[in-house]
Chain A
């Protein structure tokens, strides 16, 4: 897939660091206090009964169930894929998650374990999590995970280059990674915990979308803070502006640090009231999480029985 022609409307024909700088300086600034107040206000929404159940179900269907540890093994990945397919073995009404997310080495095992389930396999790539390597090697890694069967690629941007103002380097890496993805779906990790300011988050979001990212994603999960509500709000607002300017819909993935369904509910509220219904689907929103799933299952069990079950009733894979 090449750059969609519709996107040329936000960028000049000949893209260089100066033209990108001009483009990014046109991105509206962000007031940190205001952004925090907005998400705090949305967090006071009270979601009950059937609207809560619908949200809990959607959280599972939006989940990229993740394991990204140095100690990952094929056995661990295969077990996680089983969990991804049948999150609660005692309740067939519980949907499968959207995708599993693994390191490049684990892609073949994940592909095999999810065959025929409809669950996508996402792989991190581009020398995750730091991204500090040669562009050529990053592209090679991307091609490899796609060849191994990954449906989705989660790349990291070069934060150092972004902070140094080398916008073309960042842009070009995303664009070339997107080309290397072929038909696979590209999520661009901004690692917002290292960009630090919401102004940077908003500009990096625009850069990633203009360069061809299908999704923009907050974090690797390896840097603190990972996903936060204000950062997510600002990225969603950037997605809205990009959609207004180009007609191109881009997805969003907050990742890292979202451990409870109460937290996830706040993200859904921010999503629903910022981008609206069109994004309320796993096609356009994902949660990157490892421990969230069991908490959601516990909440669903509570909704159905009126009682909280012990964590021992939920599988740990």
Chain B
């Protein structure tokens, strides 16, 4: 007779630790020093200044990068102007499309290299740069390449014209993706570009610039000037720039808008957010947990459309928070190059300090904090995934953008209350609604003052779908047919 023991509990459970599974960095070969990409080549800056860019997961220097001064920005804009007047502007749209398609294909071919570099320079988990960022980057170039020779069909009855030279300033949270969102539609609409990548994440933009040269893109069509805020200011205020596109903080966005007041420059802004995630009692709870986790911990919460405020219907509040806490304990925080890492490094020391300051304010204002007791690496900038419960609308952590892995949880009783609280912010970029009741999704979506409303999902992006803000989250749309508008003159003046 076989042994019978019901239930059998004779076997020790396996405590399954995942061995390190590091993506190799060998695929990336970096120069010690990078110049500015002007007129189709990397050249030393006239400013003669360089600054280091580091790996935020180890604090080791990756390369020295040029800091563009006024003379450099002048050169870049002049190169872009010449290319616009002589080459790119007059070029047949179908020819422009060929270059953009070629760039898209080359991004795909080199996506592993670019993903690794994105992770090294920015700190995001390799699984995200590999599976999310780079596929979307290539997708945006393919998508806008397709529009390049069909612009009159995008706006029937109108013969659209390009604007000229576009000055674009992008942030450090999605360096390649924000580049793609801006460069692809600008080029497809016939403009030339001066791009200023973020100070802490300049490397993929420089490698991309070299890639466009390999693709044969005519010199001057794309220029990349690296540097800090001062360089960005030189780009956006330059007299010969026709169009400014900025993604970054609301404070800087307001500054740019006031600087451009009274000029003929066109402006689009993608600014901060304090996205609301609203969970109703009848929601698919376990999938909602995943949506909330993805909404706030994707890319360490360095996402302008992050769902950083969670509103849970009171009747399921405790149960939902318990599920969230349990899920937080399974998040793997650490080396961004490990393929199993869920939460990587905070992008910079300055950002880490900002997160710490706001979390301290949450504590002192009386909200209850929960963090898993996972081990953090000893070097580099890391922060534990964090939940705050018992948050009130009047707490700073419910009002200010933290831009880190920190979720503020509030409760509501009725749909009207949920709408009122969710909209009670100067921002209006994103919102998530979780309910199985279709009519309620539509009712809510009508009332949420947010540029993007997701239903029973979150953080979904597609090149064909426009993205942008309400209120102090900015104006203008990127992505889709709407994304072309920011780079075209429809002759409406």
Residues of A within 8 A of B (CB): 1, 28-31, 33-35, 37-38, 44-52, 54-55, 58, 61, 111, 114-115, 117-121, 149, 151, 183-185, 214, 234, 237, 244, 249, 251, 268, 272-273, 276-284
Contacts and interface: CB of A to CB of B under 8 A. Distances in A.
Contact of A121 (B2, B16, B284, B436): B2
B214 interface: no
A34 B127 contact: no
Interface in B7-25: 7-21
Contact of B19 (A30, A51, A183, A284): A51
Contact of A34 (B7, B9, B20, B456): B456
B21 A151 contact: no
A183 B285 contact: no
Interface in B260-294: 282-288, 290-291
A51 B12 CA distance: 16
Interface of B: 1-4, 6-21, 127, 131, 282-288, 290-291, 322, 330, 339-340, 436, 456-457
Contacts of B131: 44
Contacts of B284: 28-31, 34
B2 A29 contact: no
- Identify the interface centre among A28, A184, A237: most chain B CB within 10 Å of its CB: A28
B16 to A, nearest CB: 5
Contacts of A119: 2
B17 to A, nearest CB: 6
Contact of B16 (A31, A38, A51, A283): A51
A35 B14 contact: no
22 contacts: A28-B286, A30-B287, A31-B456, A31-B457, A38-B290, A46-B21, A46-B340, A47-B18, A48-B20, A49-B19, A52-B19, A54-B14, A61-B11, A111-B1, A118-B2, A120-B3, A149-B1, A251-B7, A268-B16, A276-B330, A281-B13, A283-B10
- Identify the interface centre among B14, B17, B20, B131: most chain A CB within 10 Å of its CB: B14
Q: Closest 7 CB pairs between A and B?
A: A34-B287, A46-B21, A31-B284, A31-B287, A46-B339, A28-B285, A280-B14
Contacts of B3: 118, 120, 151
Nearest to A44: B127
A120 B10 CA distance: 13
A155 to B, nearest CB: 15
A111 B6 contact: no
A281 B9 CA distance: 9
Given A273-B330, A281-B12, 18 more contacts: A1-B6, A28-B283, A33-B287, A34-B286, A34-B291, A35-B287, A38-B290, A45-B340, A47-B19, A51-B18, A111-B1, A120-B2, A184-B6, A237-B286, A251-B7, A277-B14, A277-B16, A281-B13
A184 B4 contact: yes
A6 to B, nearest CB: 14
Contacts of A279: 13
A38 B12 CA distance: 28
A272 B16 contact: yes
Contacts of B330: 273, 276
A55 B2 contact: no
Contacts of A61: 11
A278 B21 contact: no
Contacts of B339: 44-46
Contact of A185 (B8, B436, B456): B8
A31 B1 CA distance: 46
B21 A34 contact: no
Contacts of B290: 34, 37-38
A244 B320 CA distance: 12
A282 B11 CA distance: 7
Nearest to B127: A44
Contacts of A54: 14, 16
A279 B290 CA distance: 21
Nearest to B293: A38
A161 to B, nearest CB: 25
Contacts of B10: 283
B415 to A, nearest CB: 18
Contacts of A151: 2-4
B19 A185 contact: no
A111 B13 contact: no
Contacts of B127: 44
